[in-house]
Amino acid sequence: MELLKKFEAHAATRDALASQGTAPTEITIEKILSPTEAMIDGRHTLLVGTNNYLGLTFDPECIAAGQRALQEEGTGTTGSRMANGTYSDHKMLEQELAEFYGYPYGMVFSTGYAANLGALVALAGPDDAVLLDADAHASLYDGCKMTGAAIYRFKHNDTESLESRLRRLGDHARRTLVVVEGLYSVFGDKAPLAEIARIKDKYGACLFVDEAHSLGVFGDNGRGVVESDGILDQADFVVGTFSKSLGSIGGFCVSRHAELPLFRYASRPYIFTASPCPSVIATTRMALQQIRKRPELRTQLWDNATRLYNGLKEMGYELGPDISPVVAVRFVERAKALGFWQKLLKSGIYTNLMQPPATPDGSSLVRCSITAAHTTEQVERILAAFRGAAG
């Protein structure tokens, strides 16, 4: 059928990857052993590509909270928030997330992807403009497209490019949404949020910050880069996901603006998606408590991230510009990156292979995400594997 011919290119990509050994898209985790270990292809494997930054997926209190919710409220809500899908725990989590950021308003979505789509389509429309960082996540690009607003990209983390765009918009800058991430998940580099906030205030724009990879990681209280850069009172909307530091699935938006609760009437991804199941909400609420009461998790995470980054840098690998829990090794050649990734996997180290078009600059990456649950010995094992794969 003519309609299906477009998939020939995708089939070619799949076959090319499979012809060189294990295909990254075909990896199956056969058994999870701990937050940092699993069985893959019958081999005991160290997990270094899960985004499980605080290692809370096996936290006993989180598991117990989920089990209680399953017993008391069942397996699912079977409906959207606008129908039968709002339980008291959904409301409690929204309140707790808002209080965590020091904001009055919070809203929970079924996934992090849906949180970005849902908040963006409620915020912007055909008469508005969006200024989007060039390296922003696919969910941010997709959400911006759905708004019907005029979309303008500015150079990644380039505040001069951002200000130039706002200046050219003139009075329309006051109807403009600036969309950035706190920590970018490809190279692990941090946005200059303090300067971005200063510029958006200067032109009367609105600031939307995705803290998916920085929640629980940055800031004295784990609120993300909005906290570490001191712009909690300048960010207009902060979104994030439960599937990284919080160890579950779902997403949220918090704000100091009273219009956020009205998103429930304007956001199609919110209105027409089944709400998160009770056990997910329960484990997420408990994980948020862990972030608050266990700052030592962040300390351990940053110790591990610094050790891994500095160790790889000493070996001569080309890395991202900032030390963070996301550590990406850059390769110019796609085939070399694939071969290197496969060597690591055969040595029992699972990482993420990222290749164009998923990478912003056309390079290929072997990407690590380190966690608080990794031991010093495991970090040394990762470094040894990278040393061996280079030989």
With beta carbons less than 8 A apart as the criterion, state whether 49 and 344 touch. no
The pLDDT assigned to 31 comes to 98
pLDDT (tens digit per residue) in 278-301: 999 999 999 999 999 999 999 999
Please name the fold of domain 74-293: Aspartate Aminotransferase; domain 2 (3.40.640)
User: Rounded CA gap, 116 and 135, in Å?
Assistant: 15
Q: What is the DSSP string of 56-115?
A: GGG-HHHHHHHHHHHHHH-S---SBTTTT---HHHHHHHHHHHHHHT-SEEEEESSHHHH
- Share of residues in the chain with pLDDT > 90 (%): 91
Mean pLDDT of 234-254: 98
Determine the Cα angle at 129 with ends 362 and 201, to 5°: 100
Q: Band of the pLDDT at 390, cuts 50, 70, 90?
A: confident
User: Rounded CA gap, 131 and 134, in Å?
Assistant: 9
The residue written with tokens 């505040």 in the block is: 159
Q: Band of the pLDDT at 211, cuts 50, 70, 90?
A: very high
The residue written with tokens 């972030």 in the block is: 291
Closest to 154 measured CA to CA, from 163, 162, 145: 162
Which tokens hold the place of 346?
């055969």
Least confident of 12-21, 40-49, 132-141, 156-165: 12-21
Give start and end residues of each alpha helix (H) in 236-295: 268-271, 278-293
The pLDDT assigned to 155 comes to 97
User: Rounded CA gap, 300 and 109, in Å?
Assistant: 30
Q: Band of the pLDDT at 316, cuts 50, 70, 90?
A: very high
How many CB atoms are closer than 10 A to CB 220? 9
More confident position, 133 or 332: 133
- Please say whether the structural domain 2-58+295-389 has been given the CATH code 3.90.1150.10: yes
With beta carbons less than 8 A apart as the criterion, state whether 14 and 25 touch. yes
The pLDDT assigned to 52 comes to 98
Mean pLDDT of 229-248: 98
Mean pLDDT of 298-307: 98
The pLDDT assigned to 175 comes to 98
pTM score, two decimals? 0.96
Strands 237-241 vs 206-210: parallel, antiparallel or unpaired: parallel
The pLDDT assigned to 274 comes to 97
Q: What is the DSSP string of 196-242?
A: HHHHHHHHT-EEEEE-TTTTTTSSTTS--HHHHTT-TTT-SEEEEES
Q: What's the gap between Cα 11 and its chain centre? A: 28
Burial of 6 (0-12, 13-18, 19+ CB in 10 A): exposed
Q: Band of the pLDDT at 331, cuts 50, 70, 90?
A: very high
Mean pLDDT of 146-166: 98
Mean pLDDT of 71-95: 97
The residue written with tokens 């799949």 in the block is: 14
Which tokens hold the place of 381?
């094992």
Question: Hey, CA dihedral for 261, 192, 200, 234, is it positive or negative?
Answer: positive
pLDDT (tens digit per residue) in 2-25: 999 999 988 887 887 777 777 777
User: Rounded CA gap, 223 and 209, in Å?
Assistant: 12
Inform me whether the pLDDT recorded for 375 exceeds 90: yes
Inform me whether the pLDDT recorded for 199 exceeds 90: yes
Q: Band of the pLDDT at 1, cuts 50, 70, 90?
A: confident
The pLDDT assigned to 362 comes to 81
pLDDT (tens digit per residue) in 95-125: 999 999 999 999 999 999 999 999 999 999 9
Strands 326-331 vs 364-369: parallel, antiparallel or unpaired: antiparallel
Catalytic positions are 185, 213, 244
Mean pLDDT of the chain: 96
Domain ranges of the chain: 2-58+295-389, 74-293
